[in-house]
Amino acid sequence: MAAARIAVALLAALAVTSCNGGVSGTPGASGTRDQLFPRLGNDGYDVQHYSLDLEYDPASGNLSGGATIVARATKDLSAFDLDFAGMDVRAATVDDEPAAVNRAGDELTLRPHEDLDRGETFTAYVRYSGRPRTITDLDGAQEGWLKSADGGVLALGEPAGSMAWFPSNNHPSDKATYDIKVTVPDGLQVVSNGELASTAHNGGLTTFNWQTKQPMATYLAMLAIGHYEIDDKGTTKSGIPVYTAVAPDAKQKTAEVVAQLPDIIAWEEAKFGPYPFSSTGVIVAPAKSAAYALETQNRPVMPLDQFDLSTLVHELAHQWFGDSVTPAAWRDMWLNEGFAQYSEWLWSEDHGGMSAQDRFDIEYAKGDGDEIWAFPPAAPPTAADVSGRPVYVRGAMVVHKIREAVGDEKFFALLQDWLRTHRHANASTKDFTRFADEEAGHRLTEVWNTWLYGDGKPDSP
């Protein structure tokens, strides 16, 4: 009996195979076959909802709490993986029964007491604590759990950072709704995605409860903990609540541009169609608190040293391109960055600056050896290339070539139709080219072959 139990425990730990009363579940794989990030995401289930209940102690740097994950099995499962980096897992259950836990690198394997059947909705709970770590991304930048000098924290990261602070199916193809509760000492603010549903004080601590009701990819989840000045009074012209949080040091330098946020949203709504989420805003974080600005859902996070009008236009454009319509895989990243970059060009064109054509011409004039021609925007060769210049700049040039091919009227209709058709969902480059060909009424073969997939600098602009 004891030996049998040890054998079962070993099998559970190794997640080798099912041994559960005749049901033929097998372990879900530890990745999603993403060509660039094969270890991110997992297979065998689809998350519907994350509910996080966390407490952060700035004095010790300790984070503790639990993640409740409601998911649907997409096959018979004897075990499944979550992506989780660092921290200590204290307990885990599946459907309220203890689950066996194994950890290997950034993979957390849960083996439920009973196999899960394909189609079944289940609830996994993971209790954890520890000092969250930072994750070094491919450019050597730090993401994940970033402590700033003032005792605050930014929790964010594209592509992988969220696994530093909660276990998840960490791949853009699995979007879910969120309920995020964070408890901190009184006096600190906690800002996250979605809307602030409640703030409760208890024994010197404050609990902030943020709710995200539209589906969100894990790389867009964030927390900003710190001393922020909050403005939650305004709405956009279309009636979307605006919630901004600005680090005190950043206030003076950014107030004028932050005040333009409702006008930027109005301009983007005119270009791209209805704003996709139930609130908007921005977080201007302390200088150097993160290596990059990020289009975290509802409200981008922008460290002061990364903050300017054009970047704000870019990050807000991502609410449509990336946050609402999310890439199916990491190699489709030009669908985010090409369009966000092109939005900056369009903004400039509409506001007395250079035209998009001028911007295109400046880029095209760059020599054969320039890094923007290093690889085709739709085919970043390595994981380190997903945030490379070809994805952004040559991605924007692809968008411009589509505009040139179909004319302004069809072009803006195409953008809005694309965003409406794929709202809150995922889409691949193939989905896009097929869609654009249909809207154009003919195949844009030259644009795809030369600009989107072609190697090197195209022979003519």
Q: Contact positions toward ligand TRP, by CB under 6 A?
A: 158-159, 292-295, 314-315, 318, 333, 337, 386-387
Min separation Cβ 165 and ligand TRP, Å: 17
* Contact criterion met (CB below 8 Å) for 263 and 312: no
Query: Which single residue brings its beta carbon nearest to Zn ion?
Result: 340
Edge-to-edge, what's the strand order for the sheet holding 153-156?
134-136, 142-147, 153-156, 223-226, 189-192
Q: What span, in angstroms and rounded, lies between the C-alpha atoms of 201 and 54? A: 15
Min separation Cβ 133 and ligand TRP, Å: 18
Complex with ligand TRP: residue 293 or 406, whichever CB lies closer: 293
From the list ligand TRP, Zn ion, none, pick the one residue 333 interacts with, judged by a Cβ distance below 5 to 8 Å according to partner type.
ligand TRP
340 interacts with Zn ion by CB under 5 A? yes
Q: What span, in angstroms and rounded, lies between the C-alpha atoms of 444 and 446? A: 6
Min separation Cβ 428 and ligand TRP, Å: 16
Strands 189-192 and 142-147: unpaired
From the list Zn ion, ligand TRP, none, pick the one residue 159 interacts with, judged by a Cβ distance below 5 to 8 Å according to partner type.
ligand TRP
For residue 349, count other CB atoms closer than 10 A to its CB.
Answer: 15
Min separation Cβ 88 and ligand TRP, Å: 27
Query: Which single residue brings its beta carbon nearest to ligand TRP?
Result: 387
Residue 107's beta-bridge partner residues?
83, 104
Min separation Cβ 449 and ligand TRP, Å: 24
Task: Show the tokens assigned to 62.
Answer: 């300790």
Min separation Cβ 443 and ligand TRP, Å: 29
Min separation Cβ 156 and Zn ion, Å: 13
Complex with ligand TRP: residue 107 or 337, whichever CB lies closer: 337
The number of residues making up the chain comes to 461
Residue 212's beta-bridge partner residues?
178
Complex with ligand TRP: residue 42 or 387, whichever CB lies closer: 387
Span of 68-76, 339-347, 369-377, 410-418 interacting with Zn ion by CB under 5 A: 339-347
Complex with ligand TRP: residue 314 or 400, whichever CB lies closer: 314
Backbone angles phi and psi of 88, in degrees to 5: -115, 130
Complex with ligand TRP: residue 76 or 337, whichever CB lies closer: 337
From the list Zn ion, ligand TRP, none, pick the one residue 163 interacts with, judged by a Cβ distance below 5 to 8 Å according to partner type.
none
Mapped onto helix, strand or coil, the DSSP state of residue 107 is strand
Long-range Cβ contact pairs of 197-203 (< 8 A, separation 24 or more):
none
Q: What span, in angstroms and rounded, lies between the C-alpha atoms of 406 and 395? A: 17
* 370: CB partners within 8 A, 6+ apart: 457
Span of 5-13, 121-129, 176-184, 338-346 interacting with Zn ion by CB under 5 A: 338-346
* Contact criterion met (CB below 8 Å) for 295 and 319: yes
Span of 60-68, 296-304, 333-341, 349-357 interacting with Zn ion by CB under 5 A: 333-341
Q: What span, in angstroms and rounded, lies between the C-alpha atoms of 180 and 192? A: 8
From the list Zn ion, ligand TRP, none, pick the one residue 386 interacts with, judged by a Cβ distance below 5 to 8 Å according to partner type.
ligand TRP
Complex with ligand TRP: residue 115 or 337, whichever CB lies closer: 337
Given the rule CB under 5 A, which residues bind Zn ion? 337, 340
